[in-house]
Structure 1
């Protein structure tokens, strides 16, 4: 019986040393990251990223994180130069969903037998000029441009400046 007690004590000591060793390793890793065990265990407002469920993010930084995560998951690099956001003025900007784009492109395709198509009808709107040129063919870009010009209001026309009358 004494033998079993001694074996159990040695097993407990070995287990205690193992736990202490792992605790030291965890503390070392947390220290390297600039964290503490207390801070990690605190209940702070964190949530899962809706784009990548492997990301846990703080609620106050969810909007910029989701935007960056959406870009990187779409294959963009954060160092790329992005196209400007469209104007919020409905008179001077237009937003077409995929169905409307298909209608515009089919209308032009029916008139122009040499129309070259490249867009597959599913790709999301390009966010950079490189993607714009690789997503749409020249004919498609021209058709979408002409449609935008036709359905939006341009800038006001300035009167002619006459040098003779201003002297």
Structure 2
């Protein structure tokens, strides 16, 4: 499985003008791609990684830690390395299926999608990532599998990482 993870201030996904998923940050917008040999175990592993991945800086601390939960004056990413996760902040995630993460454009000018798993294999695995995140206690919004989705987001940083499970 492959994921592109973006730290966001907010993110929404719409299909045919209807908002189908939306989060207010701090949170993560996660594009998830599935390939042919992916399994439910890999989906669970990806979910655990997303829930515990430290992508939020120390200036965003929950009130329980004795902070107001807002950016400290004069503090920035250089002052506070990525030391908190979604699980630390109870931060929401917007998970969107994205077969194009397995596009291959090394030859020619048109990508091939041979490495992307077909829908009947990919959809249950994306659903498994979402289900596992929710089982871990995460607030998760989603896109709509196979739909022509419009994703809007406000990157925080920007801070983007790629994961391969």
- TM-score normalised by structure 1 residue count: 0.23
Report which of the two has the higher share of strand. 2
Which protein is richer in helix relative to its size? 1
TM-score, structure 2 normalization: 0.23
> Which of the pair has the greater relative contact order for Cα pairs under 8 Å at 6+ separation?
2
State the structure with more CA Rg. 1
